[in-house]
Amino acid sequence: DGGITQSPKYLFRKEGQNVTLSCEQNLNHDAMYWYRQDPGQGLRLIYYSQIVNDFQKGDIAEGYSVSREKKESFPLTVTSAQKNPTAFYLCASSITGTTNTEAFFGQGTRLTVV
Amino acid sequence: GESVGLHLPTLSVQEGDNSIINCAYSNSASDYFIWYKQESGKGPQFIIDIRSNMDKRQGQRVTVLLNKTVKHLSLQIAATQPGDSAVYFCAESPRGNQFYFGTGTSLTVIP
């Protein structure tokens, strides 16, 4: 089945530690995105990538880093510089081109800092 | 960032009634709009989309209406069922495959 997979579903991290969230897609999509979702708020864009080896900061990139070495994979690292990392993280992908199409989402990773 | 807002944060409807969820957007350059459904602890699921050259689009039990004059988007769900209970987000795409999401409306269906 084609889709977008995030792992793990739940993640616990001690303060001061970096942690990497995985996102893999087999939809052959060029564009991939990372969003953060907090209770009562919408999705806020952290980083996005339109093509392999290229990515841009979103609205809340501080304290996060990404890489895009393969088309299928777009891991997100939450660094110790992120002041409030506890949140629900969503990865998405979409086709790129002259006509916009919908973004497909993974099932999310809930990160809790303890 | 873009401003995409929903008029009502919560909505309760009786099973079998129709539901209407509203959304305001701010960027007149947006030419593509999407409605997503998100169940608790899961990722958003695509429901229906509409492009700016249309003012209405229908799917199975859902209809999206777009009013570009007042920058307003609505989602109508016919014969609402308990399985429709979820948070509904609208998203706008003003350029280059970027998406901007509203805060969401929580729909509760009362049996």
Distance in angstroms (rounded) separating the CA atoms of residues A108 and A37? 10
Asked if residue A16 has pLDDT above 70, the reply is yes
Query: For position A40, what pLDDT does the model report?
Result: 73
Q: Return the residue of A nearest to B1 by Cα.
A: A59
Q: A42 pLDDT band (50/70/90 cuts)?
A: confident
Chain B contact for A108 (CB, 8 A cutoff) = yes
CB contact under 8 A, B103 and A42: yes
Looking at the complex, does the CB of residue B102 fall below 8 Å from at least one CB of chain A? yes
- Nearest CB neighbour to A106, from listed B43, B97, B98: B43
> What is the structure's pLDDT at B96?
64
Check whether A41 has a pLDDT greater than 90. Answer: no
Instruction: Output B82 or B4, whichever has higher pLDDT.
Output: B82
pLDDT digits (tens, 9 = 90+) for B41-53: 899 999 999 999 9
A90 touches chain B (CB under 8 A): yes
pLDDT at B6: 44
For range A4-18, the mean pLDDT: 94
B99 to A105: CB separation less than 8 angstroms, yes or no: no
In percent, the amount of chain A with pLDDT more than 70 equals: 96
- Four-point Cα dihedral B91, B96, B98, B99, nearest 10: 0
What does the pLDDT read at residue B97?
66
Asked if pLDDT for residue A74 goes beyond 50, the answer is yes
* Cβ–Cβ under 8 Å, residues B99 and B31: no
DSSP B22-77: EEEE--TT--EEEEEEE-TTS--EEEEEEETT-SEEE-SSEEEEEETTTTEEEEEE
The answer to whether residue B4 scores a pLDDT higher than 80 is no
pLDDT at A44: 93
Q: Binning pLDDT at 50, 70 and 90, where does residue A98 land?
A: low
